Amino acid sequence: MSNLLIRNIHLLIQAETEQRSLVRGKEMSQIPMLSNAYVLVENGRIKAFGSMANCPERADQVLDATGRIVLPAWCDSHTHIVFAATREEEFVDRIRGLSYEEIAERGGGILNSARKLQKATEEELFEGAWGRLQEVMSMGTGAIEVKSGYGLTLESELKMLRVVRKLKEKSPIPVKATFLGAHAIPMEYKSDREAYITLIIKEMLPRVAGEGLADYCDVFCDKGFFTPEETIRILEAGWKWGLKPKIHANELGLTGGVQAGIAQRAISVDHLEYTSDVEIEALKQSNTLPTLLPGCAFFLGIPFAPARQMINAGLPVVLATDFNPGSCPSGNMPFVISLACAKMNMLPEEAINAATLNGAKAMELEKEYGTIAVGKVANLIITRPMMSLAGLPYAFGSKVVEQVVVKGNLV
Ligand SMILES: [Zn+2]
């Protein structure tokens, strides 16, 4: 038995005695907060927490958190950290005036990543993804979802998902795998989309599900990618193999992606930069979570999703990074939280809820992660000294996360 005691915590955030599974609307601005507190971790799980007046006298390892905030580690429910190469040249093309869609139409974008990934070995892909995983953990990520979608052939999609499986096996933080064969239509299928959709439904899904390589099924439902009708067909096929939907929707326009996701009982619809009252109303009538990826809006210079309207309408907003080589080459959750506050008018409490508890819910991990509760896994963040919770988003770009605890061990 080994234990870790964190004592003299200035503010202990998101520690709960009654477990919640998510927060929505007005509740999002409320966050449990204890001042002058301790947390005791035993065998990787939360054993106890409370006021310093009741703090245990000793432990195997003791950390002093004077002046610091302790909160649960981030739950990043949308990433593409398995990729072969960066796309810096396209970044420069965009600076020179090309749009993301124009780059995609010329065979750049996702198809560029796919060409490079097809040539990479499983070992090379694992090495790159493992490095990114270590990096995001050092910034406080304590649970993560990873998608395929740069393969776009049966063999390469399987290769990507085997890399994700290896991440799952070796990672100290939980990893959820999402099959995204429907990320783009490959060049060779441009004149016969139907053949590619058939390949996904008839060949990819059976192999992916047969080898137990994915937890979820994703489709990029948007202008220039997959239509709502195609999305629904692929998601229906995914359900038959036991894969729940989690989809990309409304990044490039009001394309019906949100409605397609809801119709297919998606766990979440992600992006939503283009969201009108119609989508918000539809989300209100569903259990589908709206996941916002402000790092992508920042990097592409597209509108930020209307988080404020969503929360005011009572929705349970989720925040994630979308870490990928094209539209968000960063897995920095503290920066995502800064963007959420500065650009989407989310309160610090709302952003922290969206990035912890609601993020865990978007990966169906809320029973074990996302808050600090007795019995939950001890994946924790210790900040640098700061006065209030607002210090986290306020000091954007600074190293606000000082130490990270994963399963009770310092990263
Ligand atoms: Zn994405």
Q: Tens of pLDDT along 63-74? A: 999 999 999 999
| Beta strand 380-383 pairing with 401-406 | antiparallel
State in Å: Cα 65 to ligand 1 middle: 36
* Mean pLDDT of all residues belonging to the chain: 97
User: Per-residue pLDDT tens for 53-101?
Assistant: 999 999 999 999 999 999 999 999 999 999 999 999 999 999 999 988 8
CATH 2.40.10.340 for the 75-361 domain, yes or no: no
- Cα dihedral across residues 236, 237, 242, 247: positive or negative: negative
State in Å: Cα 211 to ligand 1 middle: 23
Residue 208 has pLDDT above 80, yes or no: yes
State in Å: Cα 147 to ligand 1 middle: 8
State in Å: Cα 317 to ligand 1 middle: 16
Q: Residue 102 — very low, low, confident or very high, per pLDDT cuts 50/70/90?
A: confident
CA 182 to chain CA centroid, nearest Å: 19
Q: What's the confidence (pLDDT) of residue 377?
A: 98
State in Å: Cα 24 to ligand 1 middle: 23
State in Å: Cα 144 to ligand 1 middle: 13
pLDDT > 90 in the chain, percent: 96
State in Å: Cα 249 to ligand 1 middle: 9
Q: Which token pair is 291?
A: 């996941």
pLDDT > 70 in the chain, percent: 100
State in Å: Cα 64 to ligand 1 middle: 38
pTM assigned to the model:
0.97
CA angle 191, 194, 200 (to 5 degrees): 120
User: Per-residue pLDDT tens for 141-150?
Assistant: 999 999 999 9
| Beta strand 61-64 pairing with 318-319 | unpaired
Average pLDDT over residues 137-143: 98
Q: Residue 38 — very low, low, confident or very high, per pLDDT cuts 50/70/90?
A: very high
State in Å: Cα 101 to ligand 1 middle: 15
User: Per-residue pLDDT tens for 221-258?
Assistant: 999 899 999 999 999 999 999 999 999 999 999 999 99
State in Å: Cα 308 to ligand 1 middle: 22
State in Å: Cα 247 to ligand 1 middle: 9
Q: What's the confidence (pLDDT) of residue 280?
A: 98
State in Å: Cα 358 to ligand 1 middle: 18
State in Å: Cα 78 to ligand 1 middle: 6
Q: What's the confidence (pLDDT) of residue 108?
A: 86
- Cα dihedral across residues 179, 278, 320, 324: positive or negative: positive
For 125, residues 6+ apart whose C-beta sits below 8 A from its C-beta are 82, 83, 84, 117, 159, 160, 163
Q: Where are the domains of the chain?
A: 3-73+371-410, 75-361
State in Å: Cα 309 to ligand 1 middle: 22
State in Å: Cα 157 to ligand 1 middle: 16
State in Å: Cα 293 to ligand 1 middle: 8
State in Å: Cα 145 to ligand 1 middle: 11
Question: Residue 256 in contact with residue 223, Cβ under 8 Å?
Answer: no
Pick the CATH number of 3-73+371-410 from 2.30.40.10, 2.40.37.10, 1.10.3720.10, 2.60.40.650: 2.30.40.10
Q: What's the confidence (pLDDT) of residue 2?
A: 85
State in Å: Cα 411 to ligand 1 middle: 27
Residue 1 has pLDDT above 80, yes or no: no
Cα 39 from Cα 44, distance rounded (Å): 12
User: Per-residue pLDDT tens for 338-369?
Assistant: 999 999 999 999 999 999 999 999 999 999 99
State in Å: Cα 248 to ligand 1 middle: 6
User: Per-residue pLDDT tens for 254-299?
Assistant: 999 999 999 999 999 999 999 999 999 999 999 999 999 999 999 9
State in Å: Cα 223 to ligand 1 middle: 15
State in Å: Cα 179 to ligand 1 middle: 12
Cα 269 from Cα 66, distance rounded (Å): 40
User: Per-residue pLDDT tens for 162-195?
Assistant: 999 999 999 999 999 999 999 999 999 999 999 9
